[in-house]
Amino acid sequence: MKENPNSRRGGYRAGAGRKPGTGIYSEPTKPIRVPESQIDTVLGYLSAYRKKKDVSALSIATDSPRRTIPVMSHRVPAGFPSPADDYVQDRVDLNEHLILHREASFILRVSGWSMVGAGIHDGDELIVDRAIEPADGHVVVAVINGELTVKRLRKTGRKIRLAAENPDYPDIEFSAGEELVIWGVVTRVLHRV
Does 79 fall in a domain?
Answer: no
Q: Show Cβ contacts of residue 155 under 8 Å, excluding neighbours closer than 6 positions.
A: 135, 136
Active site residues: 114, 151
Does 14 fall in a domain?
Answer: no
Can you give the residue range of the structural domain that contains 116? Answer: 39-62+85-190
What confidence score (pLDDT) does residue 154 get? 94
Q: CA angle at residue 93 from 102 to 125, to 5 degrees?
A: 60
Does 20 fall in a domain?
Answer: no
CATH at residue 119: 2.10.109.10
Query: What is the sign, positive or negative, of the torsion defined by CA atoms of 46, 51, 55, 56?
Result: positive
What confidence score (pLDDT) does residue 59 get? 52
Identity at 158, one-letter amino acid code: R
Q: How far is CA 27 from CA 22, 24, 30, 93, 115, in A?
A: 6, 8, 10, 42, 37
What confidence score (pLDDT) does residue 64 get? 55
What confidence score (pLDDT) does residue 51 get? 64
Does 129 fall in a domain?
Answer: yes
Does 13 fall in a domain?
Answer: no
What is the full per-residue pLDDT of the chain (193 aa) written as tens digits? 455 555 555 556 666 655 655 555 566 677 788 777 777 777 777 766 666 655 445 555 455 566 665 655 555 556 555 555 556 567 777 778 888 888 888 888 999 999 999 999 999 999 999 999 999 999 999 988 778 899 999 988 888 899 999 999 999 988 767 778 898 999 999 988 8
Does 28 fall in a domain?
Answer: no
Does 17 fall in a domain?
Answer: no
Does 116 fall in a domain?
Answer: yes
Domain count, the chain: 1
